[in-house]
Amino acid sequence: MTGTLRGKTLDEKRYGPGYRPEPVAFVSAPFTGCSVQPCTDPVYGSVEMFVDDAPPQLDWYSRLLARLPERTWVRMGFCMKHLEDVVARSLDTMDITDRWAPWRENPPMLFRPPKLVSPAAG
């Protein structure tokens, strides 16, 4: 048997022993209209969110995160009010490390910049 593939991978050298990259999945949310139920306002924009570990279900925002599949980028549509709230809450969650679980080195969720729906499509 040869010594091929016996050394550390480049990712292990960069991120630590035992690191193995996971495949990244992208899906669209199965809900139509605003992703915050039971809101019936028209969709104003969408956001891609990635939930690493769902937080406790305390309010509409944490219940929304709990409905998403873990470790998958999910594109969700929101009305104007909820889009503003989701962006503000997501930024707060990422910036205020006291809100993370004590063992975490990263926030429990990530999000990408919102995209507005074109007026012709809405």
Mean pLDDT for all residues in the chain: 79
Beta strands of 3-114 (E only): which ranges? 25-28, 45-51, 72-78, 109-111
CB 37 within 8 A of CB 30: no
Residue 1 confidence (pLDDT): 46
Q: What's the whole-number mean pLDDT along residues 3-10?
A: 65
Angle at 25 between CA 103 and CA 117, to 5 degrees: 105
Instruction: Say which residues have a Cβ less than 8 Å from residue 17's Cβ, sequence separation at least 6.
Output: 8
pLDDT tens per residue, range 49-80: 888 777 778 888 888 888 888 778 889 899 99
Q: If pLDDT is split at 50, 70 and 90, which confidence band does 81 have?
A: very high
Q: At CB < 8 A and 24+ separation, what contacts does 55-61 make?
A: 55/108, 55/109, 60/36, 61/85, 61/86, 61/89
